[in-house]
Amino acid sequence: MPTDTVIATHALTKRFGDVLAVDGLDLDVRRGEVYGFLGRNGAGKTTTIRMLLGLIRPSAGEVTMLGRRIGPGETSVFGRVGYLVETATAYPNLTVRENLDIQRRLTGAPKTAVADAIERLGLSQYADRRADHLSLGNKQRLSLARALLHAPDVLVLDEPANALDPAGIVEVRDMLRSLADERGVTVFMSSHILAEVAHLADRIGIVHDGRLLEELDRDELAAKARSYIEVRTSDLDRAEALLRAVGFAHVEREGDTLRVFGAGERCPDIARALVSAGLELTSLTPTSEDLETYFLRLTGG
C-alpha cells in the first residue's frame, strides 16, 4: 500500500441476503485529498461508508484506514477520524454547546474546541438552543461540528451538505477545502449535489450497483467529458434533419435544444446552414458536459 494512502479497500463486498449491495470495491484515498464518492440512491455509498467506519462487517474483502485494518475490536484509529453518516443526530434535550461538550469529553479534545467548532460552523447565535429546536440545516451544522471537534486526520462524510441552504453549502465547501489544503486532512464524502463535488473534489469515484464504474480526477473528467454545440431554433425537427443531411451525424435533442456532437469549431457552418434554410436561429453555444451530465451518461441516466 502506498505510504500516502489513508483509506484503502480491497475486494470489499457486502451482501444483505440475496442483495449484493457492494461488489468487490477497490479504493485508494490519499492524504490531504478530497475524494468524492458518487452514485444513485441504492448504489452502495452508505453501505460502503458504514464498512469504512466498522459499523457493519463486510461479507468479503477488507478495509484499511490510517494503516490499520478495520475489523472487530479495532478502535484505536477512530480517535483520528470524524464522521457523519446518513442523517444529522444529536441529544435533542441538550443545547448545541452541551452536545459538543459531551463529544469533547468522549474524544479528549481540549475545552477550547467547543467554542472553536461553534464559531467555525456558524452556530454562535444557537449555542444555547436545544437541539430539537434547531432547523434541519442547523442540525446538520451541529453534526458537522461534532465531526470536526477533535481535529481529526480523516473526515468521512455522508451527504455533508444535506439540508444546508446555498450559502451554507459554499461555507462547508470552503471549510473542507481549507482543511485538506492547510492541514492535510483527508476527506471522503458522498454527495448528490454534483456541482459541489465538481468544485471541491480532487478525485471522484462513481459507483453503480455496488461496483466502481470509474475513478477520475478533474483533468481526466475534462478530457472525457464530451463537447458539443447547443442549438436553439424555430423548428427543431427541420433543424435536426438539415444538420444530419449536411454531415453532422451525431445530433441529440434535449428539451427545446439540439446538441450537435463532434462539431469542433464549426459554429459558423451550423449557423450558415440553418439561416440559409430560412430557420430562425435563436442561440448557438459551444459547451461541454459537466459532472452531472457525465455521471448520468455513465450510469445510464
Residue 39: helix, strand or coil by DSSP? coil
Spatial separation of the C-alpha atoms in residues 103 and 98, rounded to whole Å = 9
- pLDDT truncated to tens, each residue of the chain (301 aa)? 456 999 999 999 999 999 999 999 999 999 999 999 999 889 999 999 999 999 999 999 999 999 999 988 888 899 999 999 988 889 999 999 999 999 999 999 999 999 999 999 999 999 999 999 999 999 999 999 999 999 999 999 999 999 999 999 999 999 999 999 999 999 999 988 888 888 899 999 999 999 999 999 888 887 787 888 999 998 999 999 999 998 898 898 988 999 999 887 888 999 999 999 999 999 999 888 888 888 888 888 6
Residue ranges of the alpha helices (H) in the chain? Answer: 45-52, 96-107, 112-120, 136-148, 166-183, 194-200, 218-224, 236-245, 267-276, 291-298
Residue 89, pLDDT score:
87
Binning the chain into helix, strand and coil, the percentages to the nearest 5 are: 40, 30, 35
DSSP codes of every residue in 151-191: --SEEEEESTTTT--HHHHHHHHHHHHHHHHHH--EEEEE-
Question: Other CB atoms closer than 10 Å to residue 6's CB: what's the count?
Answer: 24
Residue 147, pLDDT score:
97
Task: Find all residues with CB under 8 Å of 125, minimum gap 6, and list them.
Answer: none
Report domain 5-222's class. Answer: alpha beta
Note whether 7 and 27 are within 8 A (CB).
Answer: yes
Q: Which residues in the chain are classed under CATH 3.30.70.980?
A: 225-298
Residue matched to cell numbers 475486494: 11
Among the CATH numbers 3.40.50.300, 3.40.718.10, 3.30.70.980, 3.20.20.140, which is that of 225-298?
Answer: 3.30.70.980
- For strands 5-16 and 60-65, give the pairing: antiparallel
Spatial separation of the C-alpha atoms in residues 229 and 267, rounded to whole Å = 7
Q: Which residues of 148-178 are buried (b: 16+ CB within 10 A; e: fewer)?
A: bbbbbbbbbbbbbbbebeeebbebbbebbbe
* Residue 20, H or E segment: strand 19-30
Question: CA neighbours within 13 Å on the CB side: how many for 264?
Answer: 5
Q: What is the largest CA-CA distance in the chain?
A: 75
Residue 222, pLDDT score:
75
Q: Which residues in the chain are classed under CATH 3.40.50.300?
A: 5-222
Residue 3, pLDDT score:
64
Residue 254, pLDDT score:
86
